[in-house]
Structure 1
């Protein structure tokens, strides 16, 4: 299985396990800048050189050796499950992707036909009942995760604990897991443990939100999208995410964590 979703700087100053929809574009650009003194020109997910990614054959041996020997500071970043699944819906389902097309080809037409969702028309800019469509999408997301039907779960809405666990299961260990909601504090703590070729000043780093503008703006507060049934579905899908990363399941309006992340607990529970 190896270390899917793992990125490492060329200098091997740090190792990062990507969790989709959790500030991964900004983190990737920070990694790139720390080695090269400049940002990658474009979406960091499209960078084919300048950093190691598990998706590259030539990067797999260096990443595997480093992670298994814990040769570098290793970290990841997580996000409130309520806001993460909402972001996935507006970006991946309602939005037009950077290639000018719908995400995953026939996925959206399938959702419209089988689940009755609306996505704001051809360009994703039209008005529609966001709450009703999101709740129907949530049924679809649950079906993909629980029964792998009508397709395998997508990385953008599969549980964060599943992403985080692959590094642990194959012999890796995290030094830090921090929250998107407290990004500056968490990322600064990571940087404080590193010796990088180029100094990173977080206050001067832009936020690389590559999904922004892909789809319609969220028209309602987060909590309006989640009735009792929706909260039940979210808990069914993301129970472990709420528990391990200390988010508030009871109150969708509270995006902030309600406890401290226990790395030993995470390694014990996700290392089986």
Structure 2
């Protein structure tokens, strides 16, 4: 199985387990900058040099050896399940992707037909009932996660704990899990623990939100998208995320964590 979704600096200073929709573009650029003193010109997910990635065959032995012996500081980043699933909807379902097409080809037409979802027309810019469509998308996401129908869950809405757990189950151990909602605080701690070739001044780092502008703007506060049924579905899908990463399932308006993450608990519960 190895370590899918794992990136490592070429200097092997730090190992990072990518979690989609959790500041991964910004983190990847920070790691790239820490080695090279400049940012990657483009979407860091497209980079095939300058950063070791498990998806690169020539990187796998190096990542495997480093992680198995815990040579480098290892971390990941997580996000509130309510805001993460909402972001996935606006970016991946409503938005036009970098290549000018809809995400995953026939996915959106299938959702329009089978679930009655609206996405703002062909260009994603038309008016539509965001709340009603999002709640229908939640039914689809639940179907993919619970029954793997009409398709397997996509990485952008499969549970964060699932991404985080593969690293543990295959022999890795995290030194830190940071919250997207307290990004500067968490990333500062990570950078303080590693030796970088180039100093990273976190306050000067731009946010590389590669999904920004893909879809329509969110028209309502987060909590407006979640009624009792929606909250039930979100908890059904992301119970472990709420539990181990310390978010509040009872209040969609509170995106902030409510307690400290217990790394021993994470490794015990997600390493089973």
Provide TM-score, normalisation by structure 2.
1.00
Q: What SS class does the counterpart of residue 60 from structure 2 fall into?
A: helix
1:191 aligned residue: 191
Say whether residues 1:50 and 2:60 are aligned partners.
no
Report the Cα distance in structure 2 between the residues aligned to 1:99 and 1:49, rounded to whole angstroms.
Answer: 21
RMSD: 0.3
1:203 aligned residue: 203
Report the Cα distance in structure 1 between the residues aligned to 2:158 and 2:241, rounded to whole angstroms.
Answer: 10
Report the Cα distance in structure 2 between the residues aligned to 1:189 and 1:237, rounded to whole angstroms.
Answer: 30
Q: Displacement, 1:208?
A: 0.2
Deviations 1:43-65 (A, max 9, x none): 00000100100001111100001
Deviations 1:143-175 (A, max 9, x none): 000000000000000000000000000110000
Q: What SS class does the counterpart of residue 8 from structure 2 fall into?
A: strand
Regions of 4+ moved over 4 Å: none
1:187-266 maps to which residues of 2 (within 5 A)? 187-266=187-266
2:101 aligned residue: 101
1:62 aligned residue: 62
Q: What SS class does the counterpart of residue 167 from structure 2 fall into?
A: helix
Deviations 1:101-136 (A, max 9, x none): 000000000000000000000111111000000000
Deviations 1:217-242 (A, max 9, x none): 00000000000000000000000000
Report the Cα distance in structure 2 between the residues aligned to 1:24 and 1:56, rounded to whole angstroms.
Answer: 17
Question: What count of residue pairs does the alignment treat as equivalent?
Answer: 272
Report the Cα distance in structure 2 between the residues aligned to 1:152 and 1:166, rounded to whole angstroms.
Answer: 17
Q: Displacement, 1:91?
A: 0.1
Report the Cα distance in structure 2 between the residues aligned to 1:53 and 1:204, rounded to whole angstroms.
Answer: 25
Say whether residues 1:4 and 2:13 are aligned partners.
no
1:97-136 maps to which residues of 2 (within 5 A)? 97-136=97-136
Report the Cα distance in structure 1 between the residues aligned to 2:53 and 2:123, rounded to whole angstroms.
Answer: 32
Say whether residues 1:86 and 2:93 are aligned partners.
no
Q: Displacement, 1:190?
A: 0.1
Q: What SS class does the counterpart of residue 75 from structure 1 fall into?
A: strand
Q: What SS class does the counterpart of residue 187 from structure 1 fall into?
A: helix
Q: Displacement, 1:88?
A: 0.1
Report the Cα distance in structure 1 between the residues aligned to 2:91 and 2:200, rounded to whole angstroms.
Answer: 29
Task: Structure 1 unaligned segments of length 5 or more: list them.
Answer: none
Say whether residues 1:30 and 2:67 are aligned partners.
no
Task: Structure 2 unaligned segments of length 5 or more: list them.
Answer: none
